Structure 1
Amino acid sequence: MDLETFAPGSGRLEPRAALRSDAPALDLNGLWRFRLSPVADVPDDFARPGFDDSAWAELPVPAHWPLHGHGAPAYTNVSYPFPVDPPHVPDENPTGDYRRAFDLPDGWSGGRLRFEGVDSFARVWLNGHELGFSTGSRLPVEFDAGPWLRPGRNVLAVRVHQWSAASYLEDQDMWWLPGIFRDVTLTRSAADVFVHASHDGRLSFEAAEGRLSIPELGVRDLEPGVEITVGAEPWTAETPRLYEAVLTMPYETVRLRVGFRTVSIQDGVLLANGRPLLLKGVNRHEFHPLHGRAVPYETMREDVLLMKRHNVNAVRTSHYPPHPDFLDLCDELGLWVVDECDLETHGFGQVGWRRNPTDDPRWAEALLDRMRRMVERDKNHPSVIMWSLGNEAGVGRNLAVMADWTRERDPSRPLHYEGDWSCANTDVYSRMYASHAEVEAIGRGEEDPLDDPELDARRRAMPFLQCEYAHAMGNGPGGLAEYQELFERHPRLAGGFVWEWIDHGLAHPRHEYAYGGDYGEPLHDANFVIDGLVFPDRTPSPGLLDLKKVFEPVRFEFGDGVLRVLNRYDFRDLAHLAFRAVVEADGTPVAEFPLEVPPAGGEIELPALPPAEGTAGEHWLTVRAVLATDQPWAPAGHELAWTQTPLAPPAPPAPEPTRLPATPESRDGRLVLGGGEFDARTGRLLSLFGLDVEGPRLDLYRAPTDNDRYGGLDRQWRGLGLRRLTHRVDGVETGDGLTVRVRVAPAATDLGMRVAYTWTATSDDTLNLTVDVEPDGEWPGPIPRLGVHLTLPGEIAHVTWYGRGPGEAYPDTGMAARVGRWTATIDDLQTPYVYPQENGHRADVRWAEFGGPTGTPGFKVAGDPVFGLTARRWSTAELAAARHRPDLVAGDRVHLHLDLAQQGIGTATCGPGTLPRYDLHPAPATLRLRFTPA
């Protein structure tokens, strides 16, 4: 069968550029007739024009049939969901037959049938005549329809097989979703053009015929192959200047937008328009929770707008060329793009790379075909600055075939490929998930040498980029700021692309969002597809907010009465920004004023900023850089950068009269101290200012994050028994307060923590707690958290706190959290990760006030100096057991965690774990808290 052929297709026309033409065209999107068969070997009589399809279902095109009730999705990251026996595929091969009748307008002659994307093997008939077949799911293909078109009614029939030999080339980390998922068009356009436009104004083009005009630049009827120089403004992602061009041909007129820019490499530095370029990027799969890879235009635009608003300047199109409209948006709004070929053979790594297509000459034509179709389609986009040969496809001779052709066809763009660290066929040195230490070594040019001295010298002269880093799965990623500092310090480091843009959670009636295994797949990779910076509905995660902070185009440094403003743009000044400052006392604004910053940045004097007279508390100065006027991607006032610095503290308040510590009173088996009531035997707190409470108890465990689980830390913690601690009271002592001595330890080990809870009070409206912790035994590694846990009545519904916020923060995350006064409901404190896990921790809290409906007692807790705050309506055990958001059901208690410290987050789902400075190792520690009634 052709399904198992090495050939990429038959009957196809030569690939050409995606262009806007005035030639007549028919949009064939819409409802098609559809039939799904479980096997490939079914009669093709459906292709006859007179075939009766009235009993068939209707299916929208573009779409994936598993998302419309025909079969089910399946997710794997690396593993092929069929035996690795190339080029063979299983007999059980879901096969979709499509039919579409359309009327040809009067006078129509000739034309091409263009399919922008079909997964994975398509055979096409027009009016009963077979036009040919094609593979390469994320690439366009055209067939000559002219000889077979008829006046009036025409019937287009397409058979799509989910599995084919080509499936071995498409083992990307994503849902397996077959179908005609991009646009289908009948067009009479046959134009092709390749415009060459350099940042210094040089302009020429390649085309079989036609004349090029750019009226804005005074260019009229430029002939193919003739180079001229014009006074054009260069295109960059920061200043995406485009010029409308018109190619006039005998039978059609083509319009395209031209951007003048140059990409080069000099002395190991990646340059754009002759200046160093730092990529602040993300990897972007095409995904929509309802439509899979059939992403609507409005959603593509939303993606680009979100990226721009969060200081992202670059996209790697992992791991295939996107819909051409997405690249148009990158041209228009400004993003640097690494355009990646539709090639990945990752699953061959599980069989020792035996028979890997990348090194099998029988596959050379198919691999080259994919590269040609990408380059020809996307060659006119100024946003595309680099071609990528593919992803995780091992090494082999066919990479050279692809690279050699591409260099000859388009020498203006460097080549990228990460899978061969020798970089034999690339122009940049690319890696995935290299640690901070290794990135620094590479930046210094001190990486481990290759065995081949010539290749080693060649690689050392290349720029370095991390095509994937900071795996954004669940809570995280950690370590972003440290990576960015390295990228900015070493010129050789060209930046990188965070993995990845979006959680691939499919909308699900029971789970809310589904991941691998939720459709009964026998082989799957669970929630590894939930690894994005935005949730499936494109709500930014805390990780994206942190990334925005790390990618800021403006940096601030405070000196003695001065503010240094540093321009981190690569190509533009700061004239489009406005700068504003505010002084706050304990989160309340007490002074606001604008700052006059020169376009180049520099040092400016700050006005006198003593703490405002009569205002107590901490004083902070916050400086913000916002858009001064509307931009195509954000309105005026949109914040791009900010910083804070503490000011001199106000004069201390007059000391209160000295009070003797209160002595606990015994009442009916309880000890009463300040606003607290305690069990006289165990010293356990029972009531706090009239609230029924349980705890506090030392807590060492957290519901594991994805990084904890995949990186192995949670396995260690479970092995230690940290989720099943026992608490033994060794003593209850009264005097000037109450001291409860407890040994906290899990079963089956001699390790533990000795804890002293010391309560004191000087009046009825205060209660002070000091928690002294002493490790017992030699602990083998870091622990998840160190703090206390108590529960409150469910009526407690909201909290106001002064500390960092408004979002969550952990030791190596939370760069987006700033010091201020914040208010939220208990429910709103939760970060709704698709896969439930530790979340919602507010850091460096000075005080927090809890309350409920009118009449419900409330209280305030203050730190000496700070604490970490987490509050939720389910326990850590319930959170750890949940697999989907709906599994979390609010109980009748609020679980409050007041932490001294937590373990860092890291990026160990894929990449390095937590940096050593963010590890939480057991050590003597003290947590001090002060409780007062609200």
Structure 2
Amino acid sequence: MPTSIDYVTDPSPGHGALPPRAWYADSSANSVSLNGTWDFRLSATADAHDDSFASPAYDADGWSSVSVPGHWVMQGDGAFGAPAYTNVLYPFPVDPPRVPDENPTGDHLRVFDLPGDWPGDGSAVVRFDGVESCARVWLNGTELGEFKGSRLPHEFEVGHLLAPTGNVLAVRVHQWSAGSYLEDQDQWWLPGIFRDVTLLHRPTGGVRDFFTHASYEHTTGLGTLRVDSDVAGRITVPELGVDVPTGEPVTVAVEPWTAETPRLYDGELATAGERVPLRIGFRTVELSDGLIKVNGTPILFKGVNRHEWHPEHGRALDLETMRRDVELMKAHNINAVRTSHYPPHPAFLALCDEYGLWVIDECDLETHGFVEQGWRDNPVDDERWTPALLDRAARTVERDKNHPSIVLWSLGNEAGTGRGLTAMAEWIRARDPERLVHYEGDINCRDTDVYSRMYADHAEVERIGQGVDGGPEKRRRLPFIQCEYAHAMGNGPGGLADYQRLFEKYERLQGGFVWEWIDHGVADERHGYAYGGDFGEELHDGNFVCDGLLFPDRTPSPGLIEFKKVIEPVRIAVDGAAGTVQVTNRYDFRDLSHLAFDWTYEVEGEAVERGTLTVPPLSPGETADVKLSAPATSDGYWTVRALDGDGREVAWGQNSVAVVRNTATLFGGHTSPADGVITLGPATFDARTGDLRAIGDVTLASAPRLDVWRAPTDNDDGASWQSGERLGLLWRKFGLHRMQHRVDGVELDGAALTVRTRVGPASRDIGLRANYRWTADERRLRLTVSVAPEGDWRIPLPRLGVRLGLPVGDLGVRWFGGGPGEAYPDTRDAARLGRWESDVAALHTPYVRPQENGARADVRWAELGGLRIEGEPAYALTARRWTTQQLDAATHRTDLTPGDTLWVHLDHSQQGIGTQSCGPGVLPQYRLTPGPAEFSFTFEQLA
């Protein structure tokens, strides 16, 4: 006889649940939300208790409670266990379909009454929108069934069991099950009932399932609507004058739905017993001429991957959080989202319909952990699992099929290949031939309609664009997307603009999706935000779970600001010499009539003239040259902006301002060494070491000296599985984090002080000769640094510049240069020339794992710590109240404590960032290869 928990390790999807159907939130039928506080009991194993708790007579006195929706490990202050994060590895022995005896199991109880107006006729279902990972359900002591498929809805017939009062809904949830093998999705493992639970009245003659087909013929402007319904009824769309029976097509003139123009028509499906509102978007998706086309036009995805996340509630998201995500995406020019790696809460898709986002809707499937054994025993190639795979495909498609935003169905992610995936693709195509099928792991495109890759480097992407990448003939005829690229972990991603230039250059390249939307940091008093390993997990993947364009609290990172600039739908190229601006429409569908343009003429960051610009309503792909008004002065620069109707900046452009290198040397009298001090203009030096002690009344805490070290970024360190150059490790191997300084001479030469030094790491013969030449006048002090490498340098430098320490006083900072945020050689498109102000604390970018951050690029001058510092050429400015070594040693935000010294970095150059935390490294043009260099700074005490 099978035991009562055999269902936990059964590969089948479960039993008792109703067939999947379209999801809708609004209806004329009654419903009762069962969200709220539930009684809760946690057990260490799946069989610790019998089923008696499901009885209406059971006394749950002494139980704890949890909130539903919610994950129990995110509640109870640790009493209910803790989150655990792995990227690829299963956190239990790989022995499919078996799971460990140590299987945390949460029993949930909810007692509810029916509202007084609950109808006495018809039936009812209880719907679970998301439970991880396996659930068994009872109502009033009668078992309804059990199910797997954590991010998918399951409904059970309950009308015959309901009582007016005292109904007891009992749910036993197991953290591990056979279904866990299908849900290895690079995220926190978080058991619980984390989406809504709802009781739905099903009136006699009510709507069961329906499928809205709304196509658009771009050559005629006509849309064809047909709504197939299991229960006959009528379809009305008042705005279009439509009133037809279900199943009958009707063709009318319509405005099409696109992600740029998300036109929705309000309609209604009415059957004898129920009315359901419809939101209809007319659009046609096709694979034509080797391209993904919507309404006859190829589209370019400027997208992100989005896991569901909230730092306090995990994957239990409320509507306003979902709305915030969509609004942030639209505000940052993002036009597409891949729902990695499962269908999102359906309300999110409704928001995508409303606001306008292309969606790749991904099935709840990933078996990545089987890569560790060469994909042996992979469930997607094991017929025992095929029913579960088909069930997941059906529950995805049936739930979401009425959303116009969805243009591709994705079979899942990183699950290898096999017969099960082929069966899924065949079922989806038969059920919905009006959309395309995506799956990245199908490298030969047997089952897919698009050639999809992850983290292909720029060179390979260009070969694909040129059609010289090889591969099967079918693949060569398909469009290409990067379903994941530009890994947004920590400082970065770098190289976004270089990718975008390729996407826009080659028609076959239809864009990509940055990995990913948000850092999955868990709010934590100890660390600020916790990541893998912070909860004592024996097996974890550290901060690899924090790889988003948003910080956990949904604050945009510099990476998101850069991405917004790179993917602007309007290109603005200002030619200052000619006094013209070239405007190019990069939208796929929309003209520019909805945008207003303005200009500002600035001198050293101060606006001296402003005006508006008349730009024709250019159609997609069109370009126009527009004349700018002649400025009253010729020593400034233009900034031109495109603004939407709400005044939000959509795009901007500036003309470059050349930095004229001033090679003049300052001269002022100096005294001979006296009492160990050299005086030069406003400055005093240590006569023995040549160290600068003070500039006027500003006493330095640490003299300027050559600095090459930075706290390695996640992208510097690279990923453990990568065989190529991982610079963070190489820099440490070569000792660049412990450079030693030697003074070889302090020389007075007329009106100049020259200090000759050598800087190098212990145990290595490589080094850098650095000569500091100081000159001055009565007010100003000038430093010229000449650097020459020695030895066999096989690696780039992290940075090249000088570091000095100033006493903490006024912590305000003003500068003229790039801003307002940080920028590095391959992340600088969003850096806008201007005059900026900040305080020192705000210059720091609070990455969840501290690392190099905060550099402001192209600084002409800066004022901080009582000094004005000019650079020739422009420099990168970083200022913080902890050393690079302290930043390097920190593992969490809370490890950084401000000190009494303001550490200022004046960098001549920096190594680029790249995206090697998962993708390719720094492109050659952004590498800081050691070579001769010379740069200067002029210091002046502020009045």
| TM bracket, shorter-chain basis | over 0.9
Could you give the per-residue CA deviations for residues 355-382 of structure 1, whole angstroms, max 9, x where no partner exists? 0001001000000100000000000000
Q: Counterpart in 1 of 2:556?
A: 540
RMSD of equivalent CA atoms: 1.6
Q: Distance in 2 between matches of 1:732 and 1:660?
A: 18
- 1:724 equivalent to 2:738? Answer yes
The structure-2 alpha-carbon separation of the partners of 1:48 and 1:591, relative to structure 1 and needing over 3 Å to count, comes to: same
Matched residue type, 1:83: P
Between stretches 317-326 and 562-571, larger displacement belongs to 562-571
Q: Distance in 1 between matches of 2:860 and 2:200?
A: 66
- 1:865 deviates by 2.1
Listed as ranges, the gaps of 5+ residues in structure 2 are 1-5, 218-222, 720-725
Contact kept? 1:765, 1:932, Cα under 8 Å: yes
Contact kept? 1:619, 1:649, Cα under 8 Å: no
Could you give the per-residue CA deviations for residues 333-368 of structure 1, whole angstroms, max 9, x where no partner exists? 110100000000000001111100010010000001
Contact kept? 1:869, 1:898, Cα under 8 Å: yes
SS in 2 for 1:365: helix
Q: Counterpart in 1 of 2:31?
A: 25
Q: Distance in 2 between matches of 1:27 and 1:700?
A: 59
Matched residue type, 1:179: G
SS in 1 for 2:89: coil
Q: Counterpart in 2 of 1:119?
A: 132
Matched residue type, 1:879: L
Matched residue type, 1:34: F
Q: Counterpart in 1 of 2:468?
A: 446
- 1:754 deviates by 0.7
> Where does 1:592-607 land on structure 2 (aligned, <5 Å)?
592-600=610-618, 602-607=623-628
- 1:278 equivalent to 2:306? Answer no
> Where does 1:177-326 land on structure 2 (aligned, <5 Å)?
177-189=190-202, 190-200=207-217, 201-208=223-230, 209-220=232-243, 222-326=244-348
Q: Distance in 1 between matches of 2:891 and 2:140?
A: 50
Contact kept? 2:796, 2:928, Cα under 8 Å: yes
Q: Distance in 1 between matches of 2:627 and 2:516?
A: 40
Between stretches 125-134 and 702-711, larger displacement belongs to 702-711
Q: Counterpart in 2 of 1:576?
A: 594
- 1:623 deviates by 0.1
Q: Counterpart in 1 of 2:723?
A: none
The structure-2 alpha-carbon separation of the partners of 1:239 and 1:687, relative to structure 1 and needing over 3 Å to count, comes to: same
Q: TM-score, normalised by structure 1?
A: 0.95
Q: Counterpart in 2 of 1:484?
A: 500
SS in 2 for 1:349: helix
- 1:734 deviates by 0.2
Contact kept? 1:439, 1:486, Cα under 8 Å: yes
Q: Distance in 1 between matches of 2:884 and 2:810?
A: 18
Contact kept? 2:21, 2:399, Cα under 8 Å: yes
Q: TM-score, normalised by structure 2?
A: 0.94
Matched residue type, 2:148: T
Could you give the per-residue CA deviations for residues 605-630 of structure 1, whole angstroms, max 9, x where no partner exists? 424434528xxxx5110000001x2x
- 1:445 deviates by 1.0
- 1:166 equivalent to 2:184? Answer no
- 1:57 deviates by 1.1
> Where does 1:662-811 land on structure 2 (aligned, <5 Å)?
662-693=669-700, 694-710=702-718, 712-735=726-749, 736-761=751-776, 763-811=777-825
Contact kept? 1:610, 1:647, Cα under 8 Å: no
- 1:390 deviates by 0.1
Q: Distance in 1 between matches of 2:876 and 2:200?
A: 62
Matched residue type, 1:888: L
Matched residue type, 2:42: L
Q: Counterpart in 2 of 1:854?
A: none
The structure-2 alpha-carbon separation of the partners of 1:659 and 1:917, relative to structure 1 and needing over 3 Å to count, comes to: closer
Q: Distance in 1 between matches of 2:762 and 2:32?
A: 72
Matched residue type, 1:415: V
> Where does 1:391-410 land on structure 2 (aligned, <5 Å)?
391-410=413-432
Select which of 7, 13, 20 maps to 1:15: 20
The structure-2 alpha-carbon separation of the partners of 1:595 and 1:415, relative to structure 1 and needing over 3 Å to count, comes to: same
Q: Counterpart in 1 of 2:63?
A: 56
- 1:225 deviates by 2.7
Contact kept? 1:805, 1:817, Cα under 8 Å: yes
Contact kept? 2:521, 2:848, Cα under 8 Å: yes
Identity of aligned residues (%): 59
Select which of 109, 130, 135 maps to 1:99: 109
- 1:418 equivalent to 2:461? Answer no
- 1:230 deviates by 1.0
SS in 1 for 2:502: helix
SS in 2 for 1:133: strand
Q: Counterpart in 2 of 1:502?
A: 518
- 1:647 deviates by 6.7
- 1:663 deviates by 3.3
Q: Distance in 2 between matches of 1:929 and 1:890?
A: 26
Contact kept? 2:583, 2:626, Cα under 8 Å: no
SS in 2 for 1:199: strand
Q: Counterpart in 1 of 2:938?
A: 930
- 1:15 deviates by 0.4
Listed as ranges, the gaps of 5+ residues in structure 1 are 450-455, 630-635, 852-857
The total of aligned residue pairs comes to 906
Q: Counterpart in 2 of 1:453?
A: none
Matched residue type, 2:856: R
SS in 1 for 2:718: helix
Matched residue type, 1:64: H
- 1:147 equivalent to 2:160? Answer yes
Q: Distance in 2 between matches of 1:476 and 1:108?
A: 59
Could you give the per-residue CA deviations for residues 314-340 of structure 1, whole angstroms, max 9, x where no partner exists? 000000000000000000011010000
Could you give the per-residue CA deviations for residues 653-702 of structure 1, whole angstroms, max 9, x where no partner exists? 9x99x985433442321001112111111111111222221121111110
SS in 1 for 2:366: coil
Q: Counterpart in 2 of 1:452?
A: none
- 1:646 deviates by 4.0
Q: Distance in 2 between matches of 1:825 and 1:158?
A: 53
- 1:557 deviates by 2.6
- 1:54 deviates by 2.0
- 1:643 equivalent to 2:653? Answer yes
The structure-2 alpha-carbon separation of the partners of 1:535 and 1:659, relative to structure 1 and needing over 3 Å to count, comes to: closer
Q: Counterpart in 2 of 1:625?
A: 642
SS in 2 for 1:877: helix
Matched residue type, 2:609: A
Q: Distance in 2 between matches of 1:928 and 1:39?
A: 68
- 1:86 equivalent to 2:96? Answer yes
Q: Distance in 2 between matches of 1:847 and 1:108?
A: 77
Contact kept? 2:782, 2:937, Cα under 8 Å: yes
Contact kept? 2:336, 2:359, Cα under 8 Å: yes
Could you give the per-residue CA deviations for residues 578-597 of structure 1, whole angstroms, max 9, x where no partner exists? 00000000000000000011
Q: Distance in 1 between matches of 2:606 and 2:570?
A: 25
Matched residue type, 1:142: E
Q: Counterpart in 1 of 2:913?
A: 905
Select which of 81, 85, 109 maps to 1:71: 81
The structure-2 alpha-carbon separation of the partners of 1:900 and 1:647, relative to structure 1 and needing over 3 Å to count, comes to: closer
Contact kept? 1:114, 1:142, Cα under 8 Å: yes
Q: Distance in 2 between matches of 1:52 and 1:379?
A: 43
Q: Counterpart in 2 of 1:834?
A: 848
- 1:850 deviates by 1.2
Matched residue type, 1:836: P
Contact kept? 1:904, 1:920, Cα under 8 Å: yes
- 1:267 deviates by 1.6
Contact kept? 2:233, 2:271, Cα under 8 Å: yes
Q: Distance in 2 between matches of 1:72 and 1:553?
A: 43
The structure-2 alpha-carbon separation of the partners of 1:251 and 1:166, relative to structure 1 and needing over 3 Å to count, comes to: same
- 1:39 equivalent to 2:45? Answer yes
Q: Distance in 1 between matches of 2:683 and 2:146?
A: 78
Could you give the per-residue CA deviations for residues 154-206 of structure 1, whole angstroms, max 9, x where no partner exists? 11100000000000000001000000000001102452110100122011121
Q: Counterpart in 2 of 1:633?
A: none
Between stretches 198-207 and 905-914, larger displacement belongs to 198-207
Contact kept? 2:597, 2:641, Cα under 8 Å: yes
